[in-house]
Amino acid sequence: KAGVTQTPRYLIKTRGQQVTLSCSPISGHRSVSWYQQTPGQGLQFLFEYFSETQRNKGNFPGRFSGRQFSNSRSEMNVSTLELGDSALYLCASSYIDRTYEQYFGPGTRLTVT
Amino acid sequence: KNEVEQSPQNLTAQEGEFITINCSYSVGISALHWLQQHPGGGIVSLFMLSSGKKKHGRLIATINIQEKHSSLHITASHPRDSAVYICAVLRGTGNQFYFGTGTSLTVIP
């Protein structure tokens, strides 16, 4: 079974731009969660999608958004990038929700200059 | 105040030692995850617990729901166990997910 894939793996953007990151979950997994990891704040939960609906949301501004497609693939978008958005963005998939084991992708490292 | 506290923050051990990493949380939870992150960023889920104890190879995880505490034990530690270990809890209401700050483990040959 193929693991969770994320594209792109590395990205450099300029402040003010927007960015879209993609996550393909393990086949059969319907829940996709997104996380941000920074040296200062550690890992933080962004949002979770299930069956194309956002089920839970962390404490992030509205510039952070996401969606899930019918094949469970998910994208997250960050608009009007700020320097503080530089981080490793991880997605994880699980069968139904986070009471099941989560499988993490390799992450997308975003650098905002 | 952090909902999840881990200790110790840093740990150095000699190969073969028995290691314990602790996680305390302050909210009601429906699940607790132990994660391992190697340099380079990749995260692997080690355990998902809602009660009791789980064992996988040299790793053992326990949880005490009443005391709001979980431990991760590594028996016969090995240099390849060197990584950051992160505790994460899924809140019982609202489904918010909280992470500990991680324990950085270095196992010296």
Measured between CA atoms, the residue of chain B closest to residue A102 is B45
**B58-88 burial: b if 16+ Cβ within 10 Å, else e:** ebbbbbeeeebebbbbbeebeeebbbbbbbb
What the block records as the tokens of B95 is 């489904």
pLDDT in tens, chain B (109 residues): 678 999 999 999 999 999 999 999 998 888 899 999 998 778 999 999 999 999 999 999 999 999 999 999 999 999 999 999 999 998 866 567 789 999 999 999 9
pLDDT for residue B4: 93
Q: Measured between alpha carbons, how far is B25 from B70 in angstroms, rounded to an integer?
A: 9
CB atoms B101 and A42 under 8 Å: yes
- The verdict on B2 touching A (C-beta cutoff 8 Å) is no
Measured torsion, CA atoms of residues B31, B23, B99, B2, in degrees rounded to the nearest 10: 120
